[in-house]
Structure 1
Amino acid sequence: MSTPAASRMSRVDTAWLRMDNDVNLMMIVGVWLLTPAISLATLRERIETRLLKYPRFRQKAVLEAMSAHWVDDDAFDLHQHVVAQPLPRHRGQSERAALQQLCGTLAVTPLDPARPLWQFHLVEHYEGGCALVLRVHHCIADGIALISVMNAITDGGSDPPQRRVHAEADDEGHGDWLSDAVLKPLTDDSPTRLKGKPAGHKVVAWGEPLPLDVVKVVSKAFNCSINDVLLSCVSGAIGGWLRAQGDDTTGAEIRAMVPVNLRPLEKAWQLGNRFGLAPLTLPIGITNPVERLYAVRARMAQLKGSYQPLLAFAVLAVSGLFIKPVQDAVLGLFAKKTTAVMTNVPGPAQPLKFCGATLRQTMFWVPASGDVGVGVSILSYGGGVQFGLITDAAMCAEPQAIIDRFEPEFQQLLMLSLMLPWGDQAAA
């Protein structure tokens, strides 16, 4: 009997594989809403002919004391990875609320370690169409790579280039100086109810997309980037929610770790993890929307060209060399310095088709490590900008209450931009 082919996992991917804990699983969870509905057989055929061209999706992750390997799964069974998913609903519960509850449950349900670490769940009847929930372990791919792969399996998507296999160079050095360089300059995060010990029960939420062309108009009016406008809305929504709980946010700031892509976009199809982490401070205590917008712009300007994303990537790489308790100690420092992990990923500008159905809405959430209990996702798709939130129930049991504040925050900026003199931009 032949031995399955194996290849060594990169140090960074190994770090992600070992980062699972009792309250945070390192899975990327995504949702596609499709109209009209597609069948389970059609979905399985598409996954078999398109997704499985990426060899990684046929391989198991085998963890050892000091390293990990990718091993071909000789017993691979597509039916275990693409499954029909019931959608239980309570009396009076909307379909969206039921789907959000399902996503929260799946986010804390471990993938089978004896199989390749991914799964598609098809809800065959949802709002006149169907819903597709995807779970992929972060050791397989980061968000940029995964979106590129998912685009490739849509109708008309191009096949991935054949990737050359190179032997990975051994990592050298020690992690202490790297973690010190990245983390010691950062003060501990502001204490809010969004920090604490997670319970391991996840709740997810999303809202209706904002029109991207209107966001562009607002950004131009205030001489800011689109990203500045969106992050200001996030800051305002979180700050407003905290004040609604009776908390004093005067002068308060929270830190979000923002992944920064370190691979060229033309190589986005390459699986694995190639990103650093940039610490972004969100001024949640500033209630004036324009003042807050320019505070965000100033903080984003400071991050551009920063060394920290590269060093944070190095911390992950070197921590993958350590035994798990040492890695946990290194990565646990991130949780003390941050409240949330945040992603802002550009998706396709035009709506996509999948198995003949229209992909009308999409959202995904990346995992948080250590004791971080908040994840914010911003995704542009089909002319809109989608906000998503995943929280630990011990910190925020109803994230929809925060999501519902995003659009009013944006509307404030929109109204203020309309008050500017015609043809002029804010000069701040």
Structure 2
Amino acid sequence: MTGGEPADREPLSGPDNSWLRMGDRTNLMTITGLLDFDDPVSYEAVREQLRERLLPFKRFRQRVVYENTPFRRPRWEVDEQFDIDCHLHHVALPEPRDKAEFQQFVGDLLSQPVDHDKPLWQAYLVEGAGDTGNALVMRIHHALGDGFAMLYVLLGLADDPGEINLPFGGVPSPPDHATDDGSTTPGSPSAREDENRGRDDDGPGALAALSKAPSMLVRGASAAKIGIESMTLPEEPASAVNGDLGLEKQAAWTAPIDVDRAKAVGRAFDGTINDVLLATTTGALRRYLETHDGAVDPDAEHRTAIPVNLKPLDQRDEQLGNAFGLGFLQLPVGIDSVQGRIDEISDRTGALRQGTQAWLMLTLLRTVGNLPMPFQDLALWRFRNRASSVITNVPGPTDTFHFAGTEVSDMMFWVPTSQGVGLGISIFSYDGDVRVGIASDAGLVDDPNELTAAFEEEFETIAEQVGVEAVAADD
């Protein structure tokens, strides 16, 4: 927030503005998340829970207002006409109310923009989603925050966020939902905002970490090399999963895969669960390409963009925002050997985890987001069509939690894409299981269930190869 700016009006940060401007008719830049309930939750309970738990995050009561000059960033401004009933919708799936109908519903949502004249989110309580319960589907524009910010928001909706266990730490306390009078208490997100006002909070930890490197010269030379390589990536070759985008999107998701079983497979290949899931994704893409493009060249690779978080979840606050960068990963779809794929992926993700490429991308987005739109277009055109997919892999809560007194039986996400990418793959774990969500452009992948089926088949093939048996279903 700049000095003299009213408390209810603040400019978008550079990265938030960049993601706001990256959206177009074929890439709507919305993150879609799902809370599934085996026992139905009522509309009234959902409405009250969102009023008490979501609206204290001020971004959900603010809309984007544009300035009259291109040299000033748009600003967040409280919507004086805000009405939660314009954002929360109660719908029912048509008969036969099966998974296919629910996938079609989610796909239709992925094809529709949120209203930019209102706060940039929508929620749908969907009856008939599941055998006995219902589901809450939320759509949030990327300008509000990245995937970790949205995870913070969704987990903050829990009846008791303090009881949620994550593999990488706890959930920070959500904004005080007992008051809405603008007051602050020591240690609250609003108090931290007051303390840090005027500072750049778009991921400064990455810069601090870089400054503490043992050799600034070596790190600087490495960053320059990576930056040049990133800016000079060749376009992805034509394939069944890339090309011109349209307006219609599709959604699908896999059956649950036991986390412990996936870890056991990883140990058998001297790798990690992340290596196994990415190798399985690579094998699924290989199967899909073989079906639609024919034989896959042994040297073929599929370049994907991987979001890399640069601001830990426990440092998130009600400002939300985008504090991640993108790294590019070559998936060796031409390698038939599972061990060969895992070894290659392990080596390549090791470099990606260093975060230099992601930090450079965040720095670029922060910079161009503070400049007029033509400068952003000029800077980012070099990245258009440089990847064929976006893949996220986020570990979620290790146990179930409750929302409005009802147990959340499952969670899923669908990642947005940009810069001409038409395929999003979201790997997310919850309560001991992993699911993979697919969001695709209908003109490229018209039936994403082919990809989810390929993922399931590939994982079973890999598990059988090392003798890791399926886990018996609960009675």
TM-score in terms of structure 1 length:
0.90
Aligned partner of 1:341 in structure 2 is 390
Q: Which amino acid aligns with 2:274?
A: N
> 1:162 aligned to 2:189?
yes
Q: CA deviation at 1:121?
A: 0.5
Count of aligned pairs between the two proteins: 409
Q: CA deviation at 1:4?
A: 8.5
In the alignment, which of 232, 237, 256 is matched to residue 304 of structure 2? 256
> 1:88 aligned to 2:91?
no
Aligned partner of 2:138 in structure 1 is 134
Q: Which amino acid aligns with 2:324?
A: F
Q: Which amino acid aligns with 2:88?
A: V
- SS at the partner of 2:385? helix
> 1:113 aligned to 2:116?
yes
Distance, in Å, in 2 between the alignment partners of 1:185 and 1:324 is 22
Q: CA deviation at 1:183?
A: 2.5
Distance, in Å, in 2 between the alignment partners of 1:323 and 1:32 is 38
Q: Percentage identity across aligned positions?
A: 35
Q: CA deviation at 1:115?
A: 1.1
> 1:229 aligned to 2:276?
yes
CA displacement, residues 45-75 of structure 1 (integer Å, 9 cap, x when unaligned): 0001111121121111123324111101111
Aligned partner of 1:412 in structure 2 is 461
Aligned partner of 2:414 in structure 1 is 365
Q: Which amino acid aligns with 2:119?
A: P
Which range moves more in the overlay, 279-288 or 59-68?
Answer: 59-68
Q: CA deviation at 1:39?
A: 1.3
Unaligned runs of 5+ in 2: 1-5, 163-172, 175-187, 203-223, 469-475
> 1:97 aligned to 2:114?
no
Distance, in Å, in 2 between the alignment partners of 1:53 and 1:15 is 25
Q: Is the contact between residue 227 and residue 357 of structure 2 (CA under 8 Å) also seen in structure 1?
A: no
In the alignment, which of 143, 149, 152 is matched to residue 153 of structure 2? 149
Aligned partner of 1:36 in structure 2 is 39
> 1:8 aligned to 2:11?
yes
Q: Is the contact between residue 280 and residue 300 of structure 1 (CA under 8 Å) also seen in structure 2?
A: yes
Q: CA deviation at 1:237?
A: 0.3
Aligned partner of 2:168 in structure 1 is none
Distance, in Å, in 2 between the alignment partners of 1:330 and 1:21 is 17
- Closer/same/farther in 2, CA of residues 178 and 42 from structure 1, 3 Å limit: farther
Q: Which amino acid aligns with 1:221?
A: A
- SS at the partner of 2:407? strand
Q: Which amino acid aligns with 1:335?
A: R
Distance, in Å, in 2 between the alignment partners of 1:61 and 1:237 is 40
Distance, in Å, in 2 between the alignment partners of 1:322 and 1:82 is 35
Q: Is the contact between residue 152 and residue 313 of structure 2 (CA under 8 Å) also seen in structure 1?
A: no
Q: Which amino acid aligns with 2:311?
A: R
In the alignment, which of 62, 65, 79 is matched to residue 73 of structure 1? 79
Distance, in Å, in 1 between the alignment partners of 2:225 and 2:15 is 14
- SS at the partner of 1:405? helix
CA displacement, residues 89-116 of structure 1 (integer Å, 9 cap, x when unaligned): 5xxx652111111111111211111211
CA displacement, residues 207-252 of structure 1 (integer Å, 9 cap, x when unaligned): 1111001111111121111100000000000110110124232121
Distance, in Å, in 2 between the alignment partners of 1:293 and 1:403 is 20
Q: CA deviation at 1:169?
A: 5.0
Distance, in Å, in 1 between the alignment partners of 2:110 and 2:199 is 31
Distance, in Å, in 1 between the alignment partners of 2:256 and 2:389 is 21
CA RMSD in angstroms, aligned pairs only: 2.2
Distance, in Å, in 1 between the alignment partners of 2:348 and 2:12 is 35
> 1:52 aligned to 2:100?
no
Q: Is the contact between residue 4 and residue 73 of structure 1 (CA under 8 Å) also seen in structure 2?
A: no
CA displacement, residues 150-183 of structure 1 (integer Å, 9 cap, x when unaligned): 1111121254242433125599xxxxx9996362
Unaligned runs of 5+ in 1: 172-176, 420-428
Distance, in Å, in 2 between the alignment partners of 1:25 and 1:179 is 29
- Closer/same/farther in 2, CA of residues 29 and 178 from structure 1, 3 Å limit: farther
> 1:292 aligned to 2:345?
no
Q: Which amino acid aligns with 1:33?
A: D
- Closer/same/farther in 2, CA of residues 148 and 339 from structure 1, 3 Å limit: same
- Closer/same/farther in 2, CA of residues 263 and 4 from structure 1, 3 Å limit: closer
Q: CA deviation at 1:351?
A: 1.2
In the alignment, which of 271, 275, 294 is matched to residue 324 of structure 2? 275
Q: Which amino acid aligns with 1:162?
A: P
Q: CA deviation at 1:328?
A: 2.9
